[in-house]
Amino acid sequence: MTDQLHEMILRVRETHGGETYMVTTHGCQMNEHDSEKIITLLEEMGYKKADREEDADLSVINTCSVRHSAEDKVIGHIGKLKHIKKKNKKLKVAVCGCMMQRKESRDALLETFDHVDMVFGTNNIYRLPQLILENDHKDATVVEIEDNYTNFDNRIYAGSASNSAYVNIIFGCNNFCTYCIVPYTRGREISRTSEDILEEIRGLVADGVKEVTLLGQNVNSYGKNLPEKTSFSALLRAVSEIEGIERIHFTTSHPKDMSDELIECFRDLPKLANYLHLPVQAGSNRVLRAMNRHYTREDYFTLVDKIRSVRPDIALSTDIMVGFPGETEEDFADTLDLVERVGFDNAFTFLYSRREGTKADRMEEQVPKSVKDERFQRLLNTVYTIQRKKYLDLVGSTQDVLFASRSKNDDSKMSGRTSGFKLVHVPYDEKYIGKIVPVRITGGNTFSLEGEILDEAK
């Protein structure tokens, strides 16, 4: 943290210390980690977490712009805050994140909502204290947007109160998939130095973290823009050597950049989780070309075979899009065939959503919603059938589970994840929170497992 940032934090603490905040996050793990940084800053400034949004003095909405439905959800949330603000005159509203990096969305918000006090982008989190101070002396909305990552280098260290933490390693994306807005909201790829990343992880270990998830729009591209000669596989090996780290995840990977050296890490690094998220998006070569994905279905099958040759029991998840412009019934059949042949443990499924500014938005042959909905249901039926079998196949086995918290839906239980990222519930026992515990799996369904603890925690 720079001296200037520290000075701004102290100035805000003098005027706002003791006030309450609420941070709401829409979107991916990158957004979740950005929110962690925002919370770190707010608490450094003396803010306390509110129990309810209605009681907050400052409400921060971290937005997502990947799909139109995500933006609609944000707009509804901001509209709700207008009514809350009428009752709580002290409330300040800040909107940030990917949606605000997009000029069209930002302009529409500023024109529609006069109750928003601050707007800032994904590259301006470190400026939040300054924006709060500026807003104290202005009636108009304070807006600050940077288009390029120039200030990500350890200005904000987001500590963790949990046993698991996210760590950004690369920002932005150079792939320009024809359906995706991310290169326009997150910018071009910029990697952090390995020294900075390893220093942050050592700090997290000192806070009690045992599991890290390395984040990026395409982690496989890590290091390409750095003067140091490095790669993502080299970074994984270095992280694995840090004492205290017991499990390493990463997301997300692009199949075109899944190198043999990276696959060998699954063979050589026991700390590397038994899980890989490898987005395929579609099973049709014609659709993959139209998406600008730079691989074929055959390439994807080859990758899966290589990965399973070094980790036969690895859990694989993916992203699949239904209804991309021009998708035919034959194209969709190829996607169903790929899903069945690979046998994913989990799949994040989406209806194609038009995004202004992307090439796909200008493509002809947009698929009717009724057709997309019908195909989507067939895809879900296929995915869930395979997923349920994968979960039930674990009944009777013993899995090492890292427990994070009480179950969200049942206070009598606690929840954790296997190395293969499967959710496990067992009877609550506080002494196991934050620890890796051997668990015998006794039952399960399509989305989670039940179990019983066998031994003392690691």
As a whole number, mean pLDDT of residues 187-194 equals: 91
Q: Is the pLDDT of residue 70 over 90?
A: no
What are 42's two structure tokens?
């707010």
CB 394 within 8 A of CB 422: yes
Q: Which residues are annotated as a binding site?
A: 28, 64, 98, 173, 177, 180
Residue 257 DSSP label: G
Fold of 397-453: OB fold (Dihydrolipoamide Acetyltransferase, E2P) (2.40.50)
Parse the chain into domains and list their residue ranges.
1-144, 152-393, 397-453
As a whole number, mean pLDDT of residues 106-118 equals: 94
CB 317 within 8 A of CB 344: yes
Question: pTM for this one?
Answer: 0.85
Strand partners, 438: 400
CATH of domain 1-144: 3.40.50.12160
Instruction: Tell which residue, 336, 426, 338, 406, has the closest CA to residue 375.
Output: 336
CB 376 within 8 A of CB 203: no
Instruction: Tell which residue, 232, 228, 230, 229, has the closest CA to residue 217.
Output: 232
As a whole number, mean pLDDT of residues 199-207 equals: 92
CB 366 within 8 A of CB 340: no
400-416 pLDDT, tens digit per residue, is: 999 988 888 898 999 99
- Please report, rounded to a whole number, the percentage of residues in the chain having pLDDT higher than 70: 96
As a whole number, mean pLDDT of residues 52-59 equals: 94
201 Rama sector, left if φ>0, alpha if ψ -120 to 50, beta otherwise: alpha
- pLDDT-derived band at 33 (thresholds 50, 70, 90) equals confident
Q: Is the pLDDT of residue 107 over 70?
A: yes
Q: Give Cβ neighbours of residue 243 (< 8 Å, ≥ 6 apart).
A: 205
HEC profile for 124-156? CHHHHHHHHHHHCCCCCCEEECCCCCCCCCCCC
Q: Which residues are annotated as a binding site for [4Fe-4S] cluster?
A: 28, 64, 98, 173, 177, 180
When the pLDDT of each residue in the chain is averaged and rounded to a whole number, the result is 92
Q: Is the pLDDT of residue 97 over 80?
A: yes
Q: Is the pLDDT of residue 3 over 90?
A: no
pLDDT at 458: 55
Q: Is the pLDDT of residue 417 over 60?
A: yes
Assigned architecture for domain 152-393: Alpha-Beta Horseshoe (3.80)
Which of 90-94, 124-128, 337-341, 417-421 bottoms out in mean pLDDT, i.e. has the lowest?
124-128
Residue 380 is inside which H or E element, if any?
helix 369-392
Where would I find the H helices in 180-244? 182-185, 194-206, 232-240
Q: Is the pLDDT of residue 247 over 80?
A: yes
pLDDT at 160: 52
- pLDDT-derived band at 148 (thresholds 50, 70, 90) equals low
Q: Is the pLDDT of residue 223 over 90?
A: yes
Q: What are the phi and psi torsion angles at 24 (to 5°)?
A: -115, 130
pLDDT at 30: 84
152-185 pLDDT, tens digit per residue, is: 444 455 555 578 899 999 988 999 999 998 888 8
Q: Is the pLDDT of residue 395 over 80?
A: yes
Which of 65-79, 144-158, 313-327 bottoms out in mean pLDDT, i.e. has the lowest?
144-158
CB 190 within 8 A of CB 149: yes
What CA–CA distance (Å, rounded) separates 117 from 110? Answer: 10
